[in-house]
């Protein structure tokens, strides 16, 4: 059964961040019925039945809008891996399910952290389709590789960590800030995780331009996505940043080293050969020591440790005593002098930076301009 999605109704619907690449003009029909089993990335029109942990939804432009019972929202079906919140899977049908991420992910909750409340309950009204009844899926609106000669890969720094909320995004954003304040053009991308804009906006605010994430590669999340697809998405995002003529790339890899998709990335030769240095984020000293040891087992170049542990002078001291790499807080990473002194600049970035030396000697330190996202299809 299909129903027209009227323009007036669509104007009142709250469209989530995960759907931002899909032009609203393509949203013409709502289709339901036995043959409409959802797939990851499918857009769904749903009604809010009962508010839970996520009482706000992040809109396409980044604003976190308050939801009310009976609100209609458009989100994407997807799996979720979040030890501090929910594990969830794409349900088998269009029955009532859960909003498992504020960025706009619909799924069936499998388990939750003991300190997290029940998810917001939603009732799917049907898959969002085009005028011909074809379901709209995020994968159909992914960026494509630009034609022509493949650009040379810029120097690349990656940030990974022990787990969710270990300070990876703070580390990545601080690193972006410090690099951009040296005069380098910094591009950034979040390669894995669950679709939400908070980390993307933070990297942009720190001075990265452009900023991408896995939703730009057509994935609402990377949980339960086969490794080959995650690797292709990572390669696409890095290629697009390289095509934007940035001087250096900062990558953020979500979740911990034991998470399946993260582990697969870090064990893939084609991926790790494209990363010059790794920064590791940890919440405590023992996590930092274990993480650095694991990265070294994989023969990955560790530049230093940061993360939540640096909020504690004692934890920082413990990590410094146990490690032979720098332990640095966000303020240090955001300081261009520290970035250079700590050896966080790959060799090729040092050459680019040397080209700015004369100008920097005669001009005050420039603050980076506000970052930007890569244009969506409508703006491209």
Kindly list the distances between the CA atom of residue 229 and the CA atoms of 219, 221, 257, 370, in Å, as whole numbers in the listed order.
9, 12, 19, 31
Q: What tens digit of pLDDT does each residue of 61-90 get? A: 999 999 999 999 999 999 999 999 999 999
Tokens 């494209």 identify what position? 274
Show Cβ contacts of residue 260 under 8 Å, excluding neighbours closer than 6 positions: none
**Per-domain residue ranges of the chain:** 2-138, 156-362
pLDDT at 360: 46
Residue 284: pLDDT band by 50, 70, 90 thresholds?
A: very high
Q: Is the pLDDT of residue 302 over 70?
A: yes
Residue 366: pLDDT band by 50, 70, 90 thresholds?
A: very low
Q: Is 195 exposed, middle or buried (0-12, 13-18, 19+ CB in 10 A)?
A: buried
Give the largest Cα separation in the chain, rounded. Answer: 69
- Higher pLDDT residue, 34 or 217? 217
pLDDT at 34: 78
Q: What tens digit of pLDDT does each residue of 125-171 get? A: 999 999 999 999 999 999 998 887 777 889 999 999 999 999 999 99
Residue 377: pLDDT band by 50, 70, 90 thresholds?
A: very low
Nearest-5° angle of CA 168, CA 294, CA 215?
40
CB 220 within 8 A of CB 138: yes
CATH for 156-362 (1.20.1300.10, 2.60.40.1120, 3.40.225.10, 3.40.50.300): 3.40.50.300
Weakest-pLDDT range from 5-19, 48-62, 185-199, 346-360: 346-360
Q: What tens digit of pLDDT does each residue of 218-255 get? A: 999 999 999 999 999 999 999 999 999 999 999 999 99
pLDDT at 182: 87
Whole-number Å distance between alpha carbons of 227 and 206: 30
Average pLDDT of the residues of the chain: 91
Left, alpha or beta for 286 (phi > 0: left; psi -120 to 50: alpha)?
A: alpha
Whole-number Å distance between alpha carbons of 206 and 174: 7
What is the value of pTM for the model shown? Answer: 0.90
Residue 339: pLDDT band by 50, 70, 90 thresholds?
A: confident
Nearest Cα residue to 55 out of 113, 11, 117: 117
Helix (H) or strand (E) holding 280: strand 277-281
Left, alpha or beta for 325 (phi > 0: left; psi -120 to 50: alpha)?
A: beta
Q: Is 295 exposed, middle or buried (0-12, 13-18, 19+ CB in 10 A)?
A: middle
Q: Is the pLDDT of residue 319 over 50?
A: yes
Q: How many CA atoms lie within 13 A of 207 on its CB side?
A: 24
């Amino acid at each position: 059964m299909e129903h027209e999605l009227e323009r007036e109704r669509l104007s009142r619907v709250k469209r989530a961040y995960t759907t931002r690449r899909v032009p609203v003009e393509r949203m013409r029909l709502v289709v339901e019925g036995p043959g409409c089993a959802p797939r990851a990335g499918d857009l769904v029109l749903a009604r809010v039945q009962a508010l839970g942990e996520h009482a706000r939804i992040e809109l396409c432009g980044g604003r976190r809008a308050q939801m009310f019972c009976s609100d209609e929202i458009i989100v994407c079906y997807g799996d979720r891996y979040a030890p501090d919140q929910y594990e969830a899977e794409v349900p088998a049908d269009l029955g009532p399910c859960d909003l498992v991420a504020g960025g706009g992910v619909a799924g069936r909750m499998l388990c939750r952290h003991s300190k997290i409340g029940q998810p917001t309950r939603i009732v799917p009204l049907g898959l969002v389709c085009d005028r011909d009844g074809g379901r709209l899926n995020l994968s159909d609106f992914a960026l494509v590789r630009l034609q022509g000669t493949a650009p040379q890969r810029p120097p690349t720094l990656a940030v990974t960590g022990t787990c969710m909320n270990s300070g990876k995004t703070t580390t990545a954003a601080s690193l972006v800030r410090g690099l951009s304040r040296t005069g380098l053009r910094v591009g950034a991308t979040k390669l894995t995780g669950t679709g939400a804009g908070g980390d993307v906006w933070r990297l942009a605010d720190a001075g990265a331009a452009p900023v991408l994430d896995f939703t730009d590669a057509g994935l609402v999340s990377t949980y339960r996505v086969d490794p080959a697809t995650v690797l292709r998405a990572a390669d696409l995002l890095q290629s697009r940043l390289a095509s934007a003529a940035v001087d250096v790339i900062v990558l953020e890899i979500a979740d911990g080293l034991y998470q399946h998709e993260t582990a697969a990335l870090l064990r893939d030769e084609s991926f790790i050969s494209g990363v010059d240095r790794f920064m590791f984020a940890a919440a405590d000293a023992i996590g930092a020591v274990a993480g650095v040891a694991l990265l070294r087992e994989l023969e990955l170049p560790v530049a230093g440790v940061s993360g939540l542990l640096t909020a504690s002078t004692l934890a920082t001291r413990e990590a410094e005593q146990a490690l032979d790499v720098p332990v640095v807080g966000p303020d240090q990473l955001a300081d261009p002098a520290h970035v250079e002194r700590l050896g966080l600049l790959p060799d090729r970035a040092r050459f680019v930076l040397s080209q700015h030396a004369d100008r920097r000697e005669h001009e005050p330190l420039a603050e980076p301009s506000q970052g930007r996202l890569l244009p969506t299809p409508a703006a491209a």
